[in-house]
A = this chain, B = another copy of it.
């Protein structure tokens, strides 16, 4: 069943202790859609500038990612430059040039309005809400956010929460939004705003999934080499929603599997800059790592 993602397509420059990469393909919708493309059809709604390299459009197409909703606006593409030190959990922003992204008003193309799986990547919660009004009756809506919106658009975010099935936040965002240090209690507060489930992402420490009456704890796949953690959260979401769209039925068992697939996709993504590593792997590699993950966590 088809997936719709709304978010950013960007040009990132990243420096880590292990190297650096200038002007590479980035953005939340990019990471999400490349990860999800292993499982089925994904369509991107985003905006880029006239300078956006054609080769990246070709890249999307080569992965079967629909670009009908990728609007090319007058101006330059969203650019972000960041740096990570040895603590790869924390990104230090050098600059953010929103460029055409500043005026992004997501419009869902007519024939994508019946998308079954919708991921609202981290953008203004008002825009996320507006996207939801454009889709007819999705089977599952998941959404992400960030500290800026939780602080400056708290009311709008709360309103959105009531309309989504799964909200993904990292641990510091969950704590910030709820004012509660304990993640279990923070999750309960978030669920009281309406979503069916919350996923709290703890980076290299894994994720915790909470619904009204269950929870699931998953460690992260352990890696010897992490080159660039940029996009890990969106890649996680892409693997997760991708698997669910393929599985079709939203059961507790499928959600748990989808969380592991999300972790596996993220574990590949951070092994190189941009989406490079995901372009090298096959579904067989993903399945092999999934089996290995099961092996190193079973008791």
Question: B217 touching A299 by the CB < 8 A rule?
Answer: no
Q: List A153-212 residues whose CB lies under 8 Å from chain B.
A: 181-185, 202, 205-206, 208
Question: A297 touching B226 by the CB < 8 A rule?
Answer: no
A283 at interface (Cβ–Cβ under 8 A)? no
- Across the interface, A181 reaches (CB within 8 A) one of B86, B182, B219, namely B86
A260 at interface (Cβ–Cβ under 8 A)? yes
- Across the interface, A297 reaches (CB within 8 A) one of B182, B218, B224, namely B218
How far is it, in angstroms, between the C-alpha of A184 and the C-alpha of B225 when the chains are bound?
9
Please give me the residue from chain B that is nearest to A183 by CB atom.
Answer: B222
Inter-chain contacts of A297 with B (CB < 8 A): 216-218, 297
Inter-chain contacts of A225 with B (CB < 8 A): 182
- Across the interface, A299 reaches (CB within 8 A) one of B223, B226, B260, namely B260
Residue from A206, A219, A225, A256 having most chain B Cβ neighbours under 10 A:
A219
Inter-chain contacts of A202 with B (CB < 8 A): 205
A81 at interface (Cβ–Cβ under 8 A)? no
Question: A184 touching B222 by the CB < 8 A rule?
Answer: yes
Inter-chain contacts of A223 with B (CB < 8 A): 182, 184
Question: A299 touching B182 by the CB < 8 A rule?
Answer: no
How far is it, in angstroms, between the C-alpha of A223 and the C-alpha of B216 when the chains are bound?
13
Contact digits for A79-111, partner B, Cβ 8 Å, 1 yes 0 no: 000000010000000000000000000000000
Inter-chain contacts of A208 with B (CB < 8 A): 222
A46 at interface (Cβ–Cβ under 8 A)? no
- The interface size bin for chain A is 20 to 34
How far is it, in angstroms, between the C-alpha of A240 and the C-alpha of B99 when the chains are bound?
56
Q: List A264-299 residues whose CB lies under 8 Å from chain B.
A: 294, 296-299
A21 at interface (Cβ–Cβ under 8 A)? no
Q: How far is the CB of A145 from chain B (nearest CB, A)?
A: 22
Q: How far is the CB of A294 from chain B (nearest CB, A)?
A: 8
Residue from A214, A226, A260, A297 having most chain B Cβ neighbours under 10 A:
A297
Q: How far is the CB of A59 from chain B (nearest CB, A)?
A: 30
Contact digits for A205-245, partner B, Cβ 8 Å, 1 yes 0 no: 11010000011111100111110000000000000000000
A71 at interface (Cβ–Cβ under 8 A)? no
A259 at interface (Cβ–Cβ under 8 A)? yes
Inter-chain contacts of A182 with B (CB < 8 A): 223-226
A15 at interface (Cβ–Cβ under 8 A)? no
Inter-chain contacts of A299 with B (CB < 8 A): 216, 218, 253, 256-257, 259-260, 294
Between-chain CB contacts (< 8 Å), 17 pairs: A86-B181, A182-B223, A182-B224, A185-B224, A205-B205, A205-B206, A205-B219, A206-B219, A208-B222, A214-B296, A216-B297, A217-B222, A217-B297, A218-B299, A256-B299, A260-B299, A297-B297
